[in-house]
Structure 1
Amino acid sequence: MHYRLLSALVASAAVTAVEAVEAAAAAAATYDYIVVGSGPGGGPLAANLARAGYSTLLIEAGGDEGDNPTYRDIQNFNEAANDEASRWDFWVKHSDDPERELKFGHTTYDTGDGTFYIGTKPPAGAKHLGIQYPRAAVLGGCAMHNGAVCSLPQDDDWNLIVKATGDTSWEASKMREYLKRIEKNDYLPAGNAAHGYTGWLATSVGDASFAKNVSLPGTKILRKLAELTGQDPDAVGTLVNSDILGDYKNRDEISSFYNMVSHADSQGKRSSPNNYIRATLADPAKYPLTVKLHTLVTKVLFTNSTGGMANAPPRAIGVEVMEGASVYKADPKHIAGTKGPVSQILAKREVIISGGAFNSPQILKLSGIGPREELEKFKIPVVKDLPGVGERLADNYEGSILALGAVPVDSGLITLIFRTPSAPTKNRNIFTWCGAFSFEGFWPGFPAYYGPNQWTCAMVHIGPKSQRGTVKLTSADPQDVPDINFNFFKDNGATDLHELVEAANLLRESWKSAGAPATPFQELHPCPGELGKSANCTDAAQAEFFKLQAYSHHASSTCAIGGDDDKLAVLDSKFRVRGVSGLRVVDASAFPVVPGAFPVLPTMMLSAKATEDIIADAKKSS
């Protein structure tokens, strides 16, 4: 299949509230704090620091699309992820095996004639790009182009940090307080002790009333799923409205339906760090927040002196930046050879990197913090030999079962979290949502549309055990994109694959209950043919399918928090980069493991905790 390449550099004539305050950056060369990246980690943090009275500069490589309905209206999230106005294309690998990589069904090639080819049989002369992993260079980060799904990590994901560092402030029960602090709940009556109602992040749910109509094919599937996961089929009309963010005893062990929560208001308008940043800028209190758009941070600046103390660690004192739209080569609008003016901006207190799981380790390495051998390879002066930077890249495995009904399958959205029989603990390990859509990962122009009869159960694997991914420099040029390899199924791969196959088998079994006229289903993958009659629908064949075709979009852990005895730990429990001072990383790269099924809400909670830690340190030093 072919898709047209995106156009050359375009400029917007719109002047936003953010752009109007950019002039302030030129007037002040020094800030208390510099925050690099405006996504779920950095955006709220910068706003919080400014609201606490600290002069804060928030640097974003992209622009502001907060008034653009493609981003503002949550129903347009597929268009947002494809939009050239914000998209950065990272062409990643899933393994070190070149032959295996070429078997990924949505491998992308540049044909050289202004189009992409997506597939496994490229035309002669096409340039292999890899597997598209779009990120959002825009005010608000990836919370501006995602599906806005909100879920919480397993308690074990928080408690893992306590075990590694001894810092009890990370206990799961305490981390829930940060959810309550940021949330503006729009779907439950005020007073629910598990939720917040005065925060900056709106949360809402959709209409699940379809589940009360037992004649619908979707409701028949729902009832069978209830039976297969130990729930009461006769209670599905109520179960589908269970609170996915609720505080239940043994929550992580309960296989249950839920009403999917979105970070959006009840009118379907996206709620994100963009809203919070803009509200902070517009507040009559005139908080000392400055936002600098279209600015790429090229490195962190250091001094070896901290007040004249002997043998003091290097201290971050600011950043070097390159100004200009689309100067980073992941931007599809980048024009070869384009550069921007380079300057320096200073921080009196700290520099905080929040560039995400790909760019945060890249910035650290360009600044001289990372594995010595890799830095010396590119003649980057070593500030601190920190071997864990760019290691332990993690993600959820994702896959889907896709079929065509005999007629359109009448249903609402089914959301289910459940445990497969071989899961290594009592905890749930699969998050699935089913409905009349298709979702098979990411490529230019995704998703494919298979007509009105399409039916999918998409799966997110919680707690993958077999990844050992890396983010490595390709040069010392900050405009270059790093080499990203997720190393899918590298360690204990058979275990994770078996869990995915078990999940697929359970979901497929439920489809048989849809009944006429929706059945028979014609499955497209992973078992092509009439549902239940494919001769090659063995566990081994499905495992091979998922090994080659699994995808992901929840990258984390490349600057992970860890204990003093962990040689790959990059951060301490207060987000401080080890071996230097005045420098922290606050984004999904800080998680030791990918947090639950969807990391956006956990990252916003992490940002609220970082706010508290940073301000506490500031007060100690005042």
Structure 2
Amino acid sequence: MDATDEDVDFVIVGSGAGGGPLAARLALDGFRVLVLEAGDDHACPYYSVPIMQAYASEDPAMRWDFFVRHWGADEIQSRDPKFVPERDGVLYPRGSTVGGSTAVSAMVTMYPPAGDWRRLAELTGDPSWGPEAMRGLVRRLEAWRGADAQPLPGLDEADREQLAGHGRSGWLGTTRAAPSLAGREPRFLDIIGAIEQTARTMFDIPQEVSLPRDINAQDTPDDFQGMTFVPVAVRDGRRNGSRERLQEVARQHPDRLTIRTGCLVTRVVLEGTTAVGVEYLVGRRAYRAAPAGSACAAGAATGPADPGGAARTARARREVILAGGTFNTPQLLMLSGLGPASELAGLGIEPVRDLPGVGANLHDRYEVSVVGELAEDYPIFAGAALDVPADGEPADDLYTQWRDDADGPYTTNGSLAAIVARSGVAGPESDLVVFALPIDFRGYYPGYAKDAVREHDRLSIVVLKAHTTNRAGTVRLRTTDPRDVPAIDFRYFEEGSGDAAADLRGVVDGIGIARSILSRVPGVRRELVPGDEVTDKDALASFVREQSWGHHACGTARIGRADDPLAVVDGDFRVHGIDRLRVVDASVFPDIPGLFIASAVYLISEKAADVIAAAHPKG
């Protein structure tokens, strides 16, 4: 055991959207922090080039391979073309490098609406969860560099900036695709025009109101409906996020912040009901979600997996903080004796605290794609590999423009524009986002990234249904070996809880919007998915039930009051009944916030830093 292991204030498990910003903020506040990351410290062009985000999620040096069940019933699960029988599930990409899943995400940065924060403030009785306080954290983390939406009629640029309320000096560089990029490709202009026409027609938006609008503007209402640009976590043409935040603070304060990779935490060390540290294995890619393969497609060697040697212990003078994410945090809690007592005892784990909510309440959004085939290829893709050049091979013009000038289409995540809308089953907030990608995207399965760009005449209109009602999913231990991946079962639609019929109708409503957009794009030859022949509501419902997916899992260690038997943590992220142990990641949300989850996790990371620093005053 080295000296650092015994001489830190906080041990933080995980370096993603929850753990990374929190560790950085605590180190800046003067605390000594140790971050334990099970993955490697790996980066390559797939990480850095925004347009390569799908390749990043399939890079064996940066990913965990989780395979999840959408349905318990084999008969319906097997109808999904994304289902991999030999893995008994559907691929659910997660990151395994410094930065966690923010290293392999699509970088979409849409903040949750005020209503989500208002409900958390009511649940906890804590106004610091309220929308005004959380908006202050947006301004603290954000470094907005995008082209703002045009002012509404009667306002000027100064009014627009004040009402938008963006942060300009935070650590998270955020932007949008430069409007000039669309002008380089006539077909992109056609698609963007079709989105605008659909929005104006559906929502009766007059011409004097400029589109697209800014979904992240402070004055955008929770029930906004219309066309928006897609904000992304890109700074100077490159992905940025938790990784850059951690590395910058570690450079500034190497005596305070230590980031240790290849460290698989196996349990929380408890003395009675007090967390005093963690045990971990040192070994490259010891977790069995690590994929087979010796090199990423961009040429960087990963090396063989190492099962890890003898367990080591890292002790925390003040607190242990779990930020392993929605799948790994409940696994670690249960391995530590914190979870459903009867299940733990059945596996031979001595229960320390009966917390039935650990691993319960798993839920996600539902997503599908409408994929069209165009009559002609996109001219901008002529001669483009749409990939990182192999060693010794010349780079295409688009890659060269990104590399040399931090400019061009490769500086975006590929999203052209979006419509935000309320389905026929929406509550008070808009629950649909429908966005266009000039590729063939049908969800996640091994090899999806290459398949998406194989043809240059495809257009995908992706439908994401937020504010779903199903909370019946679970994460459960398969074995007591911490290297084994847990069983992850979402229990879609009627296998789950809530109003399955309403969730299904909401997704079908989104398909209607997607088809309306596609019908306005000139030169569409045919619809490939779900297909021109899939027209009646029953057929559309079957398509949604069989082929939808999600990638924003949350809820498996949810916030709740002490008298709630399924609550795992309180409003200050403290695990109920356990001293000096907190959880700060997507698992704490009782209900999935907003439209995309990464920004919400960044915000709770910033909030947790304030809460924890206040609980441990220095001086």
TM range (shorter): 0.7 to 0.9
Specify the SS of the correspondent of 1:205.
Answer: coil
What is the distance in 1 between the residues matched to 2:548 and 2:97?
A: 27
* Paired position in structure 1 for 2:369: 400
Note the C-alpha offset of 1:142: 0.6
* C-alpha contact (below 8 Å) 1:106/1:131 kept by paired residues: yes
Does structure 1 residue 497 correspond to structure 2 residue 487?
no
What is the distance in 2 between the residues matched to 1:80 and 1:215?
A: 24
* Paired position in structure 2 for 1:90: 66
What is the distance in 1 between the residues matched to 2:596 and 2:473?
A: 18
What is the distance in 2 between the residues matched to 1:344 and 1:215?
A: 54
Specify the SS of the correspondent of 1:545.
Answer: helix
What is the distance in 1 between the residues matched to 2:471 and 2:201?
A: 29
Does structure 1 residue 48 correspond to structure 2 residue 17?
no
What is the distance in 2 between the residues matched to 1:223 and 1:482?
A: 44
* Paired position in structure 1 for 2:242: 273
What is the distance in 1 between the residues matched to 2:61 and 2:121?
A: 40
Alignment of 1:63-74 (within 5 A): 63-66=40-43, 68-74=44-50
In structure 2, do the counterparts of structure 1 residues 51 and 337 end up closer, same or farther at CA, with 3 Å as the change threshold?
A: closer
Note the C-alpha offset of 1:263: 0.7
- C-alpha distance after superposition, 1:12-54 (max 9, x if no partner): xxxxxxxxxxxx9555423110000000000111111111111
Structure 1 unaligned residues grouped into runs of 5+: 1-23, 110-126, 305-313
* C-alpha contact (below 8 Å) 1:62/1:137 kept by paired residues: yes
- C-alpha distance after superposition, 1:346-398 (max 9, x if no partner): 11100000000000000000000000011101111111100000000111111
**Partner AA of 1:600 in structure 2:** A
For structure 1, which segment, 566-575 or 150-159, has the greater mean C-alpha deviation from structure 2 after superposition?
150-159
* Paired position in structure 2 for 1:148: 107
* C-alpha contact (below 8 Å) 1:229/1:418 kept by paired residues: no
For structure 1, which segment, 83-92 or 506-515, has the greater mean C-alpha deviation from structure 2 after superposition?
506-515
Note the C-alpha offset of 1:70: 1.5
Alignment of 1:383-462 (within 5 A): 383-408=352-377, 413-420=416-423, 422-447=424-449, 448-449=451-452, 451-462=455-466
Does structure 1 residue 546 correspond to structure 2 residue 550?
no
* Paired position in structure 1 for 2:334: 365
In structure 2, do the counterparts of structure 1 residues 279 and 168 end up closer, same or farther at CA, with 3 Å as the change threshold?
A: same
**Partner AA of 2:426 in structure 1:** P
**Partner AA of 2:600 in structure 1:** P
What is the distance in 2 between the residues matched to 1:556 and 1:571?
A: 14
Note the C-alpha offset of 1:147: 0.7
**Partner AA of 1:134 in structure 2:** P
**Partner AA of 1:438 in structure 2:** D
* C-alpha contact (below 8 Å) 1:108/1:128 kept by paired residues: yes
* C-alpha contact (below 8 Å) 1:372/1:386 kept by paired residues: yes
Note the C-alpha offset of 1:512: 2.1
**Partner AA of 1:257 in structure 2:** M
Alignment of 1:549-564 (within 5 A): 549-564=547-562
* C-alpha contact (below 8 Å) 1:210/1:219 kept by paired residues: no
1:239 to 204, 211, 226: 211
Does structure 1 residue 100 correspond to structure 2 residue 76?
yes
Alignment of 1:192-591 (within 5 A): 192=162, 194-209=165-180, 216-232=189-205, 234=207, 238-240=210-212, 242-248=213-219, 251-265=221-235, 267-283=236-252, 285-304=253-272, 314-333=273-292, 338-408=307-377, 413-420=416-423, 422-447=424-449, 448-449=451-452, 451-489=455-493, 490-491=496-497, 492-515=499-522, 518-519=523-524, 521-526=525-530, 528-529=531-532, 534=533, 536-591=534-589
In structure 2, do the counterparts of structure 1 residues 151 and 231 end up closer, same or farther at CA, with 3 Å as the change threshold?
A: farther
Alignment of 1:19-38 (within 5 A): 26-38=3-15
Specify the SS of the correspondent of 2:334.
Answer: helix
* C-alpha contact (below 8 Å) 2:147/2:176 kept by paired residues: no
Structure 1 runs of 4+ with >6 Å offset: 210-215, 334-337, 409-412
* C-alpha contact (below 8 Å) 1:405/1:454 kept by paired residues: yes
Structure 2 unaligned residues grouped into runs of 5+: 149-157, 294-303, 381-414
Note the C-alpha offset of 1:510: 3.1
Specify the SS of the correspondent of 2:106.
Answer: coil
Specify the SS of the correspondent of 1:252.
Answer: coil
Note the C-alpha offset of 1:586: 0.2
What is the distance in 1 between the residues matched to 2:249 and 2:341?
A: 40
Specify the SS of the correspondent of 2:508.
Answer: helix
Specify the SS of the correspondent of 2:552.
Answer: coil
What is the distance in 2 between the residues matched to 1:555 and 1:215?
A: 31
**Partner AA of 2:276 in structure 1:** I
In structure 2, do the counterparts of structure 1 residues 339 and 372 end up closer, same or farther at CA, with 3 Å as the change threshold?
A: same
Specify the SS of the correspondent of 1:388.
Answer: coil
What is the distance in 2 between the residues matched to 1:216 and 1:168?
A: 44
Note the C-alpha offset of 1:85: 0.3
Q: Percent identity?
A: 33
What is the distance in 2 between the residues matched to 1:201 and 1:214?
A: 31
* C-alpha contact (below 8 Å) 1:217/1:410 kept by paired residues: no
* C-alpha contact (below 8 Å) 1:571/1:585 kept by paired residues: yes
- C-alpha distance after superposition, 1:42-79 (max 9, x if no partner): 0111111111111110000011124x222122121111
2:143 to 184, 187, 197: 184
* C-alpha contact (below 8 Å) 1:51/1:287 kept by paired residues: no
* Paired position in structure 1 for 2:300: none
Given the two structures, how large is their TM-score scaled by the length of structure 2?
0.85
Q: Figure out how many residues of one structure are paired with residues of the other and give that number.
A: 556
In structure 2, do the counterparts of structure 1 residues 231 and 270 end up closer, same or farther at CA, with 3 Å as the change threshold?
A: farther
What is the distance in 2 between the residues matched to 1:410 and 1:150?
A: 29
What is the distance in 2 between the residues matched to 1:475 and 1:44?
A: 32
What is the distance in 1 between the residues matched to 2:169 and 2:255?
A: 19
